[in-house]
Chain A
Amino acid sequence: MKILVAVKRVIDYNVQIRVKEDNTGVVTDNVKMSTNPPDDNAIEEAVKIKEAGKATEVVAVSIGEEKAQETVRKALAVGADRGILVKTDGIIEPLAVSKLLQKIVEKEKPDLVFMGKQAIDDDCNQTGQMLSALLNWPQATFASKIEIKDGKLEVTREIDEGLETIEINVPAIVTCDLRLNEPRYASLPNIMKAKKKPIEQLNASDLGVDITPRIEQVKVEEPPKRKAGIKVSSVAELVQKLKNEAKVI
């Protein structure tokens, strides 16, 4: 079985983002970038499946600017066998990403495609589902547990009401939740080894997909600020304030 894992380069989750003064977006210059956190879970799961002898190859793919190569390289350092980088400029919407991934899937013919359930930059939560629609494959979104049984996957999904279990046939798409596993850190020897693993570079334009944005980003603003609150000195004072000032209890 072959697993393709899609990884996205995003602003690190610990960075307090800043909106650009001209309201065209957020500041990304000189800001720490990392792999989108649930994409780390996706890579980890694929590598674990390979280590368990149930997959033969793990291929990491990223779509983005040249520097997204670092994100692919990181996936190689934690166990992916080779990488693919599809180079694009500017904002690329989930619909365009899923069309590019469709082309990669047609070329690579994986049995499974894994990715994070949501990217923490645009918070869209669309790409996996869109890719499954384009391929007409089963989708298991928000996965917190994956079991492989006779060429089928039993996937536990985190839903608002609790947990749901579904069984899907391969080939399929799985979008991963943060609780799926504990992503490993890359060891120094593995980081060195990853430098020798191949990364194929393509341009989005080579894939024959129209990736022109369909959504105009009119402006990006700071959210309204909350009024500064107060510190209370005791529980009694807190309860009195909630009762008589805020009138919420």
Chain B
Amino acid sequence: MSVLLIAEHNNKGLKPFTLNASTAASQIDSDVHAVIIGNNCDEAAKALSELPLIKKVIQVEAAHYENFVAENFAPVIVKLAENYSHIISSANTFGKNLMPRIAAALDTSQISDIIKVIAPDTFLRPIYAGNAFATVKSKDAKKCVTIRPTSFDPCESSGGSAPIEKADPGEEFARTKFIKREEVKSDRPELGTARVVVSGGRGMQSGDNFKLITSLADKLNAAIGASRAAVDAGYISNDHQVGQTGKVVVPDLYIAVGISGAIQHLAGMKESKVIVAINKDGEAPIFSVADYGLEADLFEAVPQFLEELNKLNTIQK
């Protein structure tokens, strides 16, 4: 049977993690179909049809799909599900919100946040904030699986030409109404996909001091991350949080500044290729995962870091 991928998009184009989810879906079965539910989403549907891994696109449109409300989306997918063995989406806030609603309707025990496909019914997933890895095997006939996007490479985004089929929309769920979305616009790379991430923690002491993180991130063309403590303290907005209940990042370089390294934070960044920690407490747990640790006052070290970077002829982008 085929795999049904739920595309994540903004009606104009695909969200980048759709490419990672396509890769994961194709590792389960090569016959991957993708459903795109939205409003006036032709451009995004076309982009989806161009992914070489996708064999067929199903486009479902209605005004009430404009804002991705799970109560409207779930019945559409439940209806399509009879033709598929697996339903796949990313384990980000889009997929986390939506997939369990589908799984319960299908009476399926969902498998969340997989980091590896071992067999079509067997997956590897982190538990306890990544402090243990569980190999789990689904006994359900139909499988609902969310994938950790950073654990799968993005697929090619062009070269394919899958047919686009339209399917009828379902009714609107009138008891849930979208009001607004406050997206933080930024020219920086996205936190989830950036090559370099510079993160600040409680040690920053104030939102104002986050300017130091911003300067360093500018220099390195990096995304800005934060520990939960920094977000809780109001130094920076929630979309920057890295950790067990925030975002999981796997950049080539992760620079943790003034972050002690609580278990919850390590869960979100310890798979990064190279980790740098700058902290004045030499005993801070962050040093246990750091490839390069610098025991120093960040208010002296970060300006020096900028100076040293200025001396370099080139910096990778």
> Which A residues lie within 8 Å of B196 (CB)?
248-249
State whether the Cβ of B105 lies closer than 8 Å to any Cβ in chain A: yes
> Which B residues lie within 8 Å of A221 (CB)?
132-135
Complex partner residue of A216 from B91, B136, B176, B308, CB under 8 angstroms: B136
Residue-wise, chain A 220-241 has the 8 Å CB interface mask toward B (1 for contact) of 1111001101111011101101
Residues of A90-131 contacting chain B, CB below 8 A: 93-96, 98, 117-118, 120-131
> Which A residues lie within 8 Å of B127 (CB)?
26, 121-123, 220
State whether the Cβ of A207 lies closer than 8 Å to any Cβ in chain B: no
Q: A-side interface residues toward B, CB under 8 Å? A: 11, 13-14, 16-17, 19, 26, 38, 93-96, 98, 117-118, 120-134, 137-139, 141-142, 144, 154, 157-169, 172, 177-179, 213-223, 226-227, 229-232, 234-236, 238-239, 241-243, 246, 248-249
Instruction: Give the shortest distance, in Å, between B304 (CB) and chain A (any CB).
Output: 4
Instruction: Give the shortest distance, in Å, between B107 (CB) and chain A (any CB).
Output: 7
State whether the Cβ of B112 lies closer than 8 Å to any Cβ in chain A: yes
Q: Is the CB of A120 within 8 A of B316?
A: no
> Which B residues lie within 8 Å of A123 (CB)?
112-113, 126-129, 244
A237 to B80, CA, bound (A): 57
Instruction: Give the shortest distance, in Å, between B218 (CB) and chain A (any CB).
Output: 13
Instruction: Give the shortest distance, in Å, between B182 (CB) and chain A (any CB).
Output: 5
Q: Is the CB of A179 within 8 A of B92?
A: no
Extra A-B contacts (11), CB below 8 Å, given A130-B100, A167-B177, A229-B292? A123-B127, A129-B101, A130-B110, A133-B102, A160-B94, A161-B239, A162-B239, A164-B178, A164-B180, A215-B137, A249-B315
Centre residue among B252, B276, B301 by max chain A CB count within 10 A: B276
A121 to B131, CA, bound (A): 10
Q: B-side interface residues toward A, CB under 8 Å? A: 69-71, 74, 91-94, 96-105, 107-113, 122, 126-140, 173, 175-184, 192, 196, 220, 228, 231-232, 237-239, 244-245, 247, 252-253, 263-264, 270, 273-276, 282, 287, 289-296, 301, 304-305, 307-309, 312, 315-316
Complex partner residue of B135 from A16, A132, A218, CB under 8 angstroms: A218
Q: Is the CB of A220 within 8 A of B137?
A: no
> Which B residues lie within 8 Å of A154 (CB)?
179
Complex partner residue of B181 from A120, A132, A163, CB under 8 angstroms: A163
> Which B residues lie within 8 Å of A133 (CB)?
74, 100-105
> Which A residues lie within 8 Å of B111 (CB)?
215
Complex partner residue of B104 from A95, A158, A164, A222, CB under 8 angstroms: A95
Q: Is the CB of B305 within 8 A of A129?
A: no
Instruction: Give the shortest distance, in Å, between A91 (CB) and chain B (any CB).
Output: 11
Q: 21 A-B contacts, Cβ less than 8 Å apart?
A: A14-B263, A17-B128, A17-B131, A118-B245, A127-B100, A129-B98, A129-B99, A129-B101, A144-B238, A160-B239, A162-B181, A218-B135, A221-B134, A229-B275, A229-B293, A231-B295, A238-B305, A239-B305, A242-B253, A248-B274, A249-B316
